[in-house]
Every structure is written in structure tokens, then in C-alpha cells.
Structure 1
Amino acid sequence: MIATKLVFSSLRRRPAGFIASFVALFLGATILMTFASLMDTRTAAGPEAGKTLLIMASVVGGWGLVIVLFATLSTLSLLIRQRAPEMALLKTAGATPSQIGRMIVGEAAVVAVLASATAVVPSVFAGRWLVGLLGDTGRVPAGLEARFGPLAVSMGTGITLLAALAAAVVAARQVTRRGAVEAIREAGVDTRPVGRLRVFGASIVLASGLGCGVVTMTVFTGTEPALMAIGGQGGILAAIGFALLSPALLGPIAAVLAAPLRRAGVSGHLTAAHLRVRSRQLAGVLVPIILFTGIATGTLYLQGIENAAGTAPVKIARSLETLNYVVVGMIALFAAVMLVNTVVAAIVGRRREFGQQRLIGSTPSQVLRLVGTEGTVLVIVGVLFGSLAAVVTVIPYSVARTGRLVPDQTIAFYLAIVAVAIVLTLGTHVGAAANTMRTPAIEAGTRG
């Protein structure tokens, strides 16, 4: 009963966190339901069309599932970690760890159910658009009626709920097992090393991506149907691996950048300090940057190399191109929205910090310069590792398909992707910080 009251009280008092969680789960549920609806449509399609729909729902939807789950888990974990002081105060007021854990899990469940229910309507239209697109390219019979039924709803809702509960359980364990004093201290300074299990898992995922690249370059001759699938998987796995390692990567990078940043003035000095003591929280922003840069770059260049080779029949080539652009479009859009969502959540969670800085003499422009400097470092690091992930797809596929190490495709695609990442990251950083400073410094510095 107490945990239930805490759930709804917390959701009312933390609208920013609620909205950020809702957006992450809503987008994830929409993508999952859209691809799962192909399984419902398959029941009314013929054998050949049904096979195509099954492959797309399984392969494309499967990779979308991995990316959606990972990004959703990352966002929810970030939001829950930001609440460490609140959890510590609840402990000092007499709340037990089990009550706090039930509150966190209950909040996640409520938001997941609301997000899944809201995602049904846009998923219906997205599923119809996807089936129509497949019909236009000849992959399924033209005019095939799209269906949205129990498979789409159950898979989308079930997976979204499981992802939210998994993130809540993991984050709740991290928060509740620490003492009140320790939790309050780590809310401002969290220098704990990255867990061995996370490093081990990230290393396996990264090694799997590199393995896909090696197989693409050495085993295939350039004409096998599986070449594109294996090549594309390499970049996706590498991007996820780098994203998992982002907290461990940011610490050493911060140490290297410390001296040049300090020469940049007060904002640079504070940025160097924050990168050192807030690596876990700031690394949450790296995840969508790495995913967006890596997956968008890898898939677009993979398709460009395939178009230039031009050895497949026109009908098949058009179908593959359509599928790839659908994948990169939906996943890149998801990653871009998650980037904005994560940055806003991270910045809003620092309202109290910004208020305290203003109370001790910092001007709003100095705070904005600090945020801008942090955002610049994060986008550079995120684009760097996202680009390295894309290389795992681009170079092996170019070697296998054309025999050349460097593809002939224009660099304009890559520069456009980087520009979008920079604009989204810096624009959201500065815009969200400026919005938080509309709150008077005294109110923000004391209440958060």
C-alpha cells in the first residue's frame, strides 16, 4: 500500500522524468508493434509473401528489438540513477529497501502500460505503411491488406513491459543496496569502476561485431545472399558494444582531455572535473549518439556500395534497398529522438546543480558555456566511437563487394550524419539548460 502511494506521488512530482520514460517506452513499443504486425498480416498472405513478411519481422524486427531494448534500458537506468538522493532520503525516513524497490518497479510498470496503450494507434498506421511499401517494391502482392492483431499487441506490450521492469529491477538493486550517506555522496560524485559483468558483456558483443566484419571480408565472395545481413550486423553489434563500454571509455578520455580543457577557462576546467566524477551519468548521453552515428553511417554506406556494384536483378535490388532504408530510417529516427530525450532528461536532472552554481556566483552565460563544452566533448566522443562501429560494416563490405578497402561513395552522407548528431546534441544541451535556468536560482538550488 505504501509503495503504491509512493508510485503515484512520485509520478506526479517528477513530470520531467515521467515524460522522458514515457517517450522512450512509447517509441520502443511503436517500433516493436509495427514489425510484429507483419506476423498478423502473414496469416492472410500467400506462401511466398508470408515468407517475406516472416523474414522481415524476424530479422529486421529482431535487430530493431535489440536496439530498442538497449536504448530503453539505458534511458530508464539513467533516470533512476538520478534519483539516488531521493531514495536515500526515503531510507532515512524509514522506508525499507523492498518498499523503495517496489516503488521503482511499480513506476516503470505504470509508464510501460500507458506507453504501450498509446503506441497502438500509430503502430496500426505504421504497419499499413510498411506493408504498402513492400507491395510497391514487389516483395508482397500489391494491395495486400495489412492486419494488426493479437501478435502485434501482445509482443509489443509484453516486450516493452519486460524491458521496463528489467531496467527498474537492475537500477533498484543498485540504488537500494547502498546506504543513505553513500547514495547522497554518489549523486554528485560517482567514481565507482564499471562492473566486470558489463565490461565482459560489452567485450563479447564488440568481439561478435568484429567477427562479423572478418567473416564478411574473408569468407564471402561478394555474391552470397547473406553477405549484406552479416555485414550490417557487424556495425550494429559494434555500436552496441561501444555504447555498453561508454562509462569505461569516458574516464580515460577525460584524463587525456583534462589539460587542454583546463586551458579553455572556467567552463573547460569544470567540464574536466565533471567528466571525471560524473562519467556514469554523462556516459548515458553517449549511448544514443554512438547508436545513431554507427547504424546510420554503416547502413547508408552499405546500401551505397551495393547500388554501385549493381549485380543483383533490378527487382531484388530495389527490394533490398527499400528494406535497408526502412531499417535505417526507423532506427535512426528512434536513436535521434532518444538522443534528444536522454539529453533533456540528463539536463533537467541537474537543475539543482545549475541553481547552486548560480548561487555561488556563476552567471547564466557561464553555466551555458559549461553545458556547451560538455556537450561538445560528448558529441566528439560519441561520433568517434559511432564512426569506428560503422567502419566494421563499411570496410569489410567494400572489400567483399568491390575488392577495395575504401568505398567510392561520397563523404557527404557521413558529414550529414555527423552534422545531425552535432546539432541534436549541442542544440538540446544548450536549449534544455537555458530552459532549466528559467527557475529562480534559490528555488532551483534548494529544491532541485
Structure 2
Amino acid sequence: MRWRLALGTIRAHRASYLASAAVMAAGTALLTAFASLLETGLATGRDSGFLVMLPAILGGWTVAIVAFGVVSTVSLTIGHRERELALLRSIAATPRQIRQNVVLETVIVAAPAIAAGLPPGAWLGSVVLGRLVEGGLVGAGTEPATGWLSVAIGAGTSLCAALAAALISSRRAASIPPVRALAAAAPARALTRGRVAAGVALLVVGLSLSATTLFMDDGPLLSSTAGPAGVAVAVGLALLSPAAARPIGWLSEARLGAVGRMAARNLHAQARHTAGVASPLILLVGIAGGTLYMQSTEDSVHHGAGDVSVQLAPVNYLVVAMIITFTAIVVVNTLIAATRRRSREFGLLRLSAATRGQVLGVVAAEGVVTALLAIVLGTVAAAATTVPYALVKTGSPVASGPAWMYAAIAGGALLLVMLASVPTAVGALRTRPVDALSAP
């Protein structure tokens, strides 16, 4: 009975669960790639220095990135079902049953998604290994070894992150009073004590790692503190971003036109929703800006042709591209899921005499403001990586690299928001307003 109920729920929310599955599969692939390099280095014992050092330096903060991406996506999927879960409470479902059902649904979705991510992860690991061999950093003829360790790290981390998100989100869902099922869910607190504590703790960790970088010697291990510093600050700012979204309410009094004022009021009133959309975007801008400018600063320092840093640069750019791609997948899935959830709101606006063009204008304006907020916070996170790294490498706090690269990162973030939210809103507006009001 419980399995049939879980499968029925997944079918009813197919699009949301597919988004979660895509993120879990991509995260598993990324982690498996790093794990396979580590396992290869441990298995061969020959020329294994870089095979162990690379996943050791990059793998740790990649785990944090993947865990955050999976947790935020799964939490968003479950959060969108609060009204439905409250309805189950109203027909005598106990909090324990709610939690068990949510966890079971998450496991059913996670198992095939994680399994699907393992083969691409093994392939990505072999691609990175090939780059290391081409650069002369690993002996020719080294074959990838992808065994139980790679599977355990890749699959285990993704599954643990998904289960953690299910347990945290289902606990809140199970506490919803049954009377809430009779109306739309009331706005949840944007900042809880736990969220504030976690955000502040991560900021302290990130800034501490950033400060530690200043006292390290110039060498390959410099990125082992500079990189995680930016990731920790980015996640910390993402957790605290509801506070940053509150001042947006000031724009509702500005002369921005009806569409601009409505967008500002929506973003201010739904600070928690705004933060949920902005969080993966903050991570994307922070990671892209931090890692790319860290590598460009390294490239700007004159090295000999046989310098290890020169040989490692192509591998670093490949790894950065893999991480940015995963983060972009999280951003797109989050934006699509968040926009699809608003079909009832769009229907109500249409019934209140708003035209389709005005509704789309509101969605576009919200996207622009959200992207700008994420770009500002993401830039702060990137600075936690680039400033100390550049000071050690060049003596200047300004990272070396072309200005167009930052423009491309900021423009790419804005483009992702527009491509994910506006077409989804167009699809939602095809539903008749009256029918949209009865949507779950």
C-alpha cells in the first residue's frame, strides 16, 4: 500500500521529481569522476601523486557543492507539496506516516538516478586521467580503476544528501496543522535559527580559510584553502540570502511602473522563495568567478615550459567546467520547478485583469532582480577565493584575468534565469485561469 501511494505521488509530480533525479544523476557523475581518480592512484601506487592530490584538493569542496545542490533541489520539490501534505494530515495521516512516505518517495527517485550517474562518472574520470597522462603528470599506460570505492563515494554521497533533505523537509511538512490544507500554505519564516546558525558558521569557516591562504607558501597546495574558502562563503551567503532579499521591498515604492512594483513586492513578500531561487545561482557565480580567476592568476605568473602549473592548467579548466556544468543544471532545474509552482498565482493574476504580457513582465523583472542579487553575493564569495590567492601569487588583491570573463559569468547567470523562467511561465499561462486555480 505504501509503495503504491509513493509511486502514485511520483507520477503526479513527475516533472518535479525528474528535476531532482537529474541533479542527483549529475552530482553522482561528478563525484564518481573524482573518486575514480583517487581509486586509480591508490590502486597503481605508481606516479600516483597527482591522482591522489587532485581529488584530495578538489574532491572535498566538490562534495560540498554536490550535497548543497541535491539538498536544495530535493527540499524544493518537497516544499512545493506542503499543501498536499497538509491535506493528508487532515484525513488522519500521522506525522510519522508523512515522514516515511516522503523518505520512501525520495529513495524511489534517487536509486535509479544515482545508478544512471555512475557510468558517466567513470567516463569523466577516464577523460581527466587522459589529460593528466597527456600533460606528463601521470605515467603513460596508467589505466583507470573504478571499483567499489568510486561507487561508494559517488552513490553514497548523493544518497545521503537526498535522504538528509527528505528528513529535514518532511519534518517541517509533518508539523503543518491540518487546517492549513483548507487554504494556500502560509508563508514560512524566511530565516530560521538553524538556517542562520549554519549560514554564519559557514561564513566563519570560509573567511578563516581565506585568511589562512594569506599565510601559505606559493605552491600547488595554495588552492586547497583558497578554493574551499569561496565555496563555504557562497553556501553561507546562500543560506542567509533571505535577509538580503528583504530590502528589495523598497523598490515597490519606486517609480518602476505597475509591473516593476508588483515584481518587487513579490520578491519582498516571498523572501524565502526568492532565496531558494537565488541560492544555486549564488553558488554558480561564486564558483565560476573564484575558480576561473584563480586559474587565470596562476596562468599570468611566468613559468617555464616544464612547470607543473602549466601542465596542470588544462586539467584544472576541465574540472572547473565539470563543476560549473553541474551547478548550472541545479540552477535551471530550480528555476523551472519554482516557476511551475506559480501556476495558481498566475491564474489569479489573470482573473484580476492582468494580461499575459504583464504576467510575463513580472516574471522577467523578478528574474533580473534575483540574478543581480545572486551576482552581487556570488562576487563576494568569489573574492574570498581570488583576493588571498592573488595576494600570495602576485602581491596584488586584484586577480589577473580578462574583464570579459566576469562579464560572461554575470551575463551567463542572467541568461540562465531568463531561459529557465520565462519559457516555463509561457507554458503555465497556456492553462485557463480558472483551471490554474485548481492546480495543486
Query: Same fold per TM (> 0.5)?
Result: yes
Deviation of residue 381 (structure 1)? 0.1
Q: Distance in 2 between matches of 1:73 and 1:184?
A: 29
Paired residues for 1:194-273 under 5 Å: 194-217=191-214, 219-220=215-216, 223-251=218-246, 253-260=247-254, 263-273=255-265
Deviation of residue 185 (structure 1)? 5.5
Provide, for residues 91-135 of structure 1, a one-character-per-residue CA deviation record: whole Å limited to 9, x for no partner.
112222111111110111111101011112212321221211111
- Which of residues 75, 79, 85 is equivalent to 1:87? 85
Q: Which residue pairs with 2:101 in the alignment?
A: 103
Change (3 A) 1:269 1:394: same
Is contact 2:16-2:337 (8 Å) kept?
yes
AA aligned to 1:442 is V
When structure 1 is superposed on structure 2, of 425-434 and 119-128 the one drifting more is 119-128
Q: Which residue pairs with 2:377 in the alignment?
A: 385
Q: Which residue pairs with 1:180 in the alignment?
A: 178
AA aligned to 2:216 is F
Q: Distance in 1 between matches of 2:184 and 2:59?
A: 38
Deviation of residue 11 (structure 1)? 0.5
Q: How many residues align?
A: 440
Q: Which residue pairs with 2:312 in the alignment?
A: 320
AA aligned to 2:156 is G
Deviation of residue 296 (structure 1)? 0.7
AA aligned to 2:45 is G
Deviation of residue 215 (structure 1)? 2.5
Q: Which residue pairs with 1:14 in the alignment?
A: 13
Give me the TM-score of the superposition, normalised by structure 1: 0.93
AA aligned to 1:31 is L
Provide, for residues 239-269 of structure 1, a one-character-per-residue CA deviation record: whole Å limited to 9, x for no partner.
1111121223222x32343323xx2222222
Deviation of residue 431 (structure 1)? 1.1
When structure 1 is superposed on structure 2, of 6-15 and 403-412 the one drifting more is 403-412
Is contact 2:206-2:384 (8 Å) kept?
yes
Change (3 A) 1:190 1:133: same
Change (3 A) 1:191 1:265: farther
Is contact 1:191-1:277 (8 Å) kept?
no
- Which of residues 292, 298, 313 is equivalent to 1:300? 292
Deviation of residue 43 (structure 1)? 4.7
Are 1:39 and 2:48 matched, yes or no? no
Q: Distance in 2 between matches of 1:388 and 1:74?
A: 21
Is contact 2:86-2:177 (8 Å) kept?
yes
AA aligned to 1:122 is P
Structure 2 unmatched runs, 5+: none
Q: Which residue pairs with 2:119 in the alignment?
A: 121
Give me the TM-score of the superposition, normalised by structure 2: 0.95
SS in 1 for 2:438: helix
Q: Which residue pairs with 1:350 in the alignment?
A: 342
Q: Distance in 2 between matches of 1:124 and 1:320?
A: 21
Aligned-pair identity (%) = 36
- Which of residues 61, 64, 67 is equivalent to 1:66? 64
Structure 1 unmatched runs, 5+: none
SS in 2 for 1:362: coil
AA aligned to 2:336 is V
